[in-house]
Structure 1
Amino acid sequence: MPLVHISLRTGKTQAHRQAIFDSVYRAMRETFNVPEDDQFMTITQHEGADFRYGASYLGVARSDELVFIQITANNTRTVEQKKMLFGRTAELLGESPGIRPEDVFVSLVEVEKENWSRGNGLAQYA
Structure 2
Amino acid sequence: MPSSLIEVRREYTPEQEVALIDAVHASLVAAFKIPEDDRFIRLASYAPHRMVNGLQPGAADSYTRVTIDCFAGRSIEAKRNLYRELADRLAVLGIERDQLSILLRESEPENWGSGGVPASDVDLGFEIRV
Report the counterpart of residue 45 of structure 1 in structure 2. 45
Quick one: distance in 2 between partners of 1:93 and 1:48? 19
Q: Which amino acid aligns with 1:115?
A: N
**Which residues in structure 2 correspond to 1:64-83 (within 5 Å)?**
64-83=61-80
Counterparts of 1:57-96 in structure 2, within 5 Å, are 63-95=60-92
2:118 maps to which of 106, 117, 123: 123
State the distance in 2 between where 1:108 and 1:124 align.
19
2:101 aligns with 105
Q: How many Å separate the matches in 1 of 2:99 and 2:60? A: 6
> What are the Cα deviations for residues 44-93 of structure 1, in whole angstroms up to 9, with x where unaligned?
1112221101239xxxxx82101100000111101111111001110011
In 2: Cα distance, 1:101 partner to 1:41 partner: 21
Distance in 2 separating the partners of 1:44 and 1:107: 15
Q: Tell me the TM-score normalised to structure 1 length.
A: 0.87
Q: Which residue of 2 aligns with 1:30?
A: 30
Gaps of 5+ in 2: 122-130
Gaps in structure 1 of 5+ consecutive residues: 57-61
Task: Return the offset for 1:104.
Answer: 1.6
Question: Which position in structure 1 is the counterpart of 2:128?
Answer: none
Deviation at 1:121, TM superposition (A): 2.1
Residue 20 (1) aligns with residue 20 (2): yes
Segments ≥4 residues shifted beyond 3 Å: none
Letter in 2 for 1:121: G
How far apart in 2 are the matches of 1:8 and 1:70? 11
